[in-house]
Amino acid sequence: MFRKIAVSAAALGLCISGASANEELLRLQRDPNQWVMPTGNYANHRYSELNQITRDNVAQLRPSWSFSTGVLRGHEGGPLVLGDMMYIHTPFPNKVFALDLKEPGKIVWRYEPSQDPSVIAVMCCDTVNRGVSYGDGKIILAQADAKVVALDAKTGKVAWSVTNGDPGKGETMTAAPMVFGDKVLVGISGGEFGVRGHVTAYNLKDGSMAWRAYSVGPDNEILFDPQKTTSLGKPVGPNSSLQSWEGDQWKIGGGTTWGWFSYDPELNLVYYGSGNPGTWNPAQRPGDNKWSMTIFARDATTGQAKWVYQMTPHDEWDYDGVNEMILSDINVRGRPVKALVHFDRNGFGYTLNRETGELLVAEKFDPVVNWATKVDMQTGRPEVVKEFSTRQGGEDTNTQNICPAALGTKDQQPAAFSPRTSHFYVPTNHVCMDYEPFRVSYTAGQPYVGATLSMFPPKGAQHMGNFIAWDASEGKILWSKPERFSVWSGALATAGDIVFYGTLEGYLKAVDVRDGKELFSYRTPSGIIGNVNTYTHNGKQYIAVLSGVGGWAGIGMAAGLQGDTEGLGAAGAYRSLANYTQLGGVLTVFALPN
């Protein structure tokens, strides 16, 4: 089955028998003919060297084959391709299909876990899953019921299964695992249920736990060394998390880890972000609420935190910090840097030095962002605007016209980076909100939200999303292409100097990296919240994407924008997404005509 891989390994002169999972994946993630991890490569570039499809011929792209998953709810994530096999996954019940690329769409094996449907009730925003990972001959699935399951990549047989959390307490899983070295890293979801977030590394071989690091709590549980773990270059000191909470509140302190992971094999560091602190009512949790809303760099072997940076101390808007960390070697203001670039829910695009955690750039990637004027580059803290502070507005007060909305200027839908242009291509939301915090009580397994929101497009805007190009060196938008709805699909950049993304109406689009000019669009069967990938089979380049509308976009947009409310302006401009698309998971694979 993996004959092709073995051949290319031999060609590269690698000794496959002695190669650890680490070496195998390090090599595979560089092979543009395959798509071996959800993020494209360890650096989360979502970029491919393939260049058969270019800005000149992309208009001729046609669907080549398609496959129905038979599941209706929101399909996030995307396919993996290893040799002649493609692996796709579904939202709850988290089916996995291994498809034969030699006979497109033929099912080699399928896996369908039996999970208690009551898990569905504790999933925040639809029952999404962001994909499976490959390593050491296994496909790793993070199930909704918080079980991590390793399946034999050839047969689909369960190799091992471990329990990573308790759905009875609202702990579920939606994020894609990441395999690095001989381990697999997983997060935990449940930010709306007071879940205390953690990341856990399991040994690929047997599923035994290697290390676990919480986002909030005592130093020995968050794996901090008060002297060696730094924030903006300074040691964090003892009890850095505990001191930022009142009493025991850290125990329901959130900081869940439902986004993407990246890995720098040379620095041996893994990177990810943590989500919102406890309830959405800030008055109920005074303090900075560390280390929620934080970028973490951890030693991949031990889990010890090397550096941290909290983007939104004492969150008042639900601006989770979980979006992907893109590791790019770029010039920042004229100086070459091993950079980490991150587009946060809070509307700031951050560039940091990924070795040291030094903050280099923090600029708005949507001009309507208004909750903070800027980020103080010395302290790293946002300068919050009183008018849009839900804490200063207080409990039971409706703070109005905050931009962005809770779903952020960008949510988990990952951006792409092209090393050819050194620029980033970012799917974004263009949505604002009113936010009224109120007191809630904590009950294990019950929502712990404590705020009422309404979301709407910015005043005077005719659209709710943009697809943008970003210069992370200066923190500047290069071009911005408006979309009717939020762009909730992960992007793909290629050496053909084009970028692909999907829209909530269901269009797969390709645009020119130079100016965002639309070169191709095709309407798939349902809205796209999945991530686009590319691979070759028998020497021919294909583009693949899952459609199947849903997710938070399905809640926030499907119905909420029908009808015209006062104050939204542009009466009639926003019609329900339901008028454009219906549910249903379908994989569509595209190719140029022969």
According to the annotation, is 353 in a ligand binding site?
Answer: no
543/557 with CB nearer another protein: 557
> Tokens in use for 559?
């119905």
Gap between the Cα atoms of 435 and 391, Å rounded? 10
Q: Which of 413, 200, 409 is nearest to 323 (CA)?
A: 413
Give the H/E segment covering residue 47. Answer: strand 47-48
Please answer whether residues 177 and 129 qualify as being in contact, where contact means their C-beta atoms are separated by less than 8 angstroms.
Answer: no
Residues in contact with another protein, counted by CB under 8 A, come to a total of 47
According to the annotation, is 358 in a ligand binding site?
Answer: no
127/390 with CB nearer another protein: 127
437/475 with CB nearer another protein: 437
Q: Does 452 bind another protein (CB under 8 A)?
A: yes
68/227 with CB nearer another protein: 68
Q: Work out which of 359, 372, 432, 449 binds another protein, going by CB under 8 A.
A: 449
Q: Does 194 bind another protein (CB under 8 A)?
A: no
**How many angstroms separate the first and last alpha carbons of the chain?**
26
Q: Work out which of 99, 139, 453, 586 binds another protein, going by CB under 8 A.
A: 453
Q: Does 446 bind another protein (CB under 8 A)?
A: yes
Please answer whether residues 337 and 250 qualify as being in contact, where contact means their C-beta atoms are separated by less than 8 angstroms.
Answer: no
**Helices and strands in the chain: count of H runs, count of E runs:** 5, 42
Active-site choice (31, 126, 288, 318): 318
Q: How buried is 234 (Cβ within 10 angstroms: 0-12 exposed, 13-18 middle, 19+ buried)?
A: exposed
- Cα dist from 32 to 42, 48, 62, 212, 544, whole Å: 13, 6, 21, 33, 14
Q: How far is the CB of 440 from another protein (least distance, A)?
A: 6
Q: Which stretch binds another protein (CB under 8 A): 113-121, 219-227, 260-268, 304-312?
A: 113-121
Q: Does 398 bind another protein (CB under 8 A)?
A: yes
Give the H/E segment covering residue 220. Answer: helix 219-222
Q: Does 339 bind another protein (CB under 8 A)?
A: no
Cβ-proximal residues to 282 (8 Å cutoff; 6+ apart), any chain = 314, 315, 316, 390, 391, 437
What per-residue string of b and e applies to 13-26 under the rule 16 or more CB within 10 Å gives b?
Answer: eeeeeeeebbbbbb
According to the annotation, is 76 in a ligand binding site?
Answer: yes
Q: Does 458 bind another protein (CB under 8 A)?
A: no
Give the H/E segment covering residue 382. Answer: strand 382-384
Cβ-proximal residues to 594 (8 Å cutoff; 6+ apart), any chain = none
318 is known as an active-site residue:
yes
358/434 with CB nearer another protein: 434
Q: Which of 28, 23, 22, 39 is nearest to 5 (CA)?
A: 28
Q: How far is the CB of 412 from another protein (least distance, A)?
A: 16
Q: 215: how many CB neighbours lie within 10 A of its CB?
A: 33
Q: Work out which of 232, 440, 519, 587 binds another protein, going by CB under 8 A.
A: 440
Q: Work out which of 426, 558, 589, 592 binds another protein, going by CB under 8 A.
A: 558
Q: Does 434 bind another protein (CB under 8 A)?
A: yes
According to the annotation, is 276 in a ligand binding site?
Answer: yes
192/411 with CB nearer another protein: 192
Q: Does 141 bind another protein (CB under 8 A)?
A: no
Please answer whether residues 364 and 348 qualify as being in contact, where contact means their C-beta atoms are separated by less than 8 angstroms.
Answer: yes
Q: How far is the CB of 112 from another protein (least distance, A)?
A: 8
Q: Work out which of 32, 79, 447, 530 binds another protein, going by CB under 8 A.
A: 447
Beta bridge partners, 292, equal none
Cis peptide before 291 (omega within 30 of 0): yes
Q: Which of residues 53-92 bind another protein (CB under 8 A)?
A: 70-74, 91-92
239/454 with CB nearer another protein: 454
Gap between the Cα atoms of 337 and 416, Å rounded? 18
Q: Which of residues 498-557 bind another protein (CB under 8 A)?
A: 549-550, 554-556
Q: Does 118 bind another protein (CB under 8 A)?
A: yes
Q: How far is the CB of 121 from another protein (least distance, A)?
A: 3
Q: Does 307 bind another protein (CB under 8 A)?
A: no
Per the annotation, binding residues for pyrroloquinoline quinone are 76, 130, 174, 256
Residues acting as catalytic residues? 318
Q: Which residues make up the interface to another protein (CB under 8 A)?
A: 70-74, 91-93, 117-118, 120-122, 124-127, 192, 398, 434, 436, 438, 440-441, 443, 446-447, 449-455, 549-550, 554-556, 558-560, 562-563, 565-566, 583
Per the annotation, binding residues for Ca(2+) are 192, 276, 318
